[in-house]
Amino acid sequence: MKKPLVFLLTFLAVGSVSALALAADPTVTVEALKTVSTIALASALGIGIGVLGPGLAQGLAVYGTAVSIARNPEIAGFLRVCMIIGLAFIESLAIYVLVVALVLIYAFPFNEQVLKLISG
């Protein structure tokens, strides 16, 4: 019950601050602010959803390795090396998601207008 209330209050606080910023600088268009907010939302959702798969895959990889080592302790070193290599490949997928989100955030057509908004 507390989480929806915190989310609502955060949403209202961010919305009121953006409204004040829009009123402070009339040269910033509403389209620029809509674009910035849409890009921020897309980046946040992209990171949240995009990291879900690699996180689950890493958990399954570690689980499988732990079970295999428990069943056959003689090959623990080989399994550990294979697991670490696999985890590196899985982590690279999460890094690709981060790169795409950063490209979305920093490469959009309303740079000048947003810089005017931030600088005041």
pLDDT per residue as tens, the chain (120 positions): 577 776 666 766 555 555 555 555 555 566 667 777 787 888 888 888 888 889 999 999 999 999 999 999 999 999 999 999 999 999 998 898 888 888 877 776 566 666 676 666
Instruction: Determine the Cα–Cα distance for residues 10 and 4; give it in Å rounded to an integer.
Output: 10
69 Cβ partners below 8 Å, 6+ apart? 75, 76, 79, 80
Dihedral sign for Cα atoms in the order 43, 46, 52, 57: negative
Longest CA span, the chain: 71
Topology given in CATH for the domain delimited by 2-119 = F1FO ATP Synthase (1.20.20)
Q: Are 110 and 32 in contact, with CB atoms under 8 Å apart?
A: yes
The model's pTM is: 0.59
120 Cβ partners below 8 Å, 6+ apart? 24, 25
Domain boundaries, the chain: 2-119
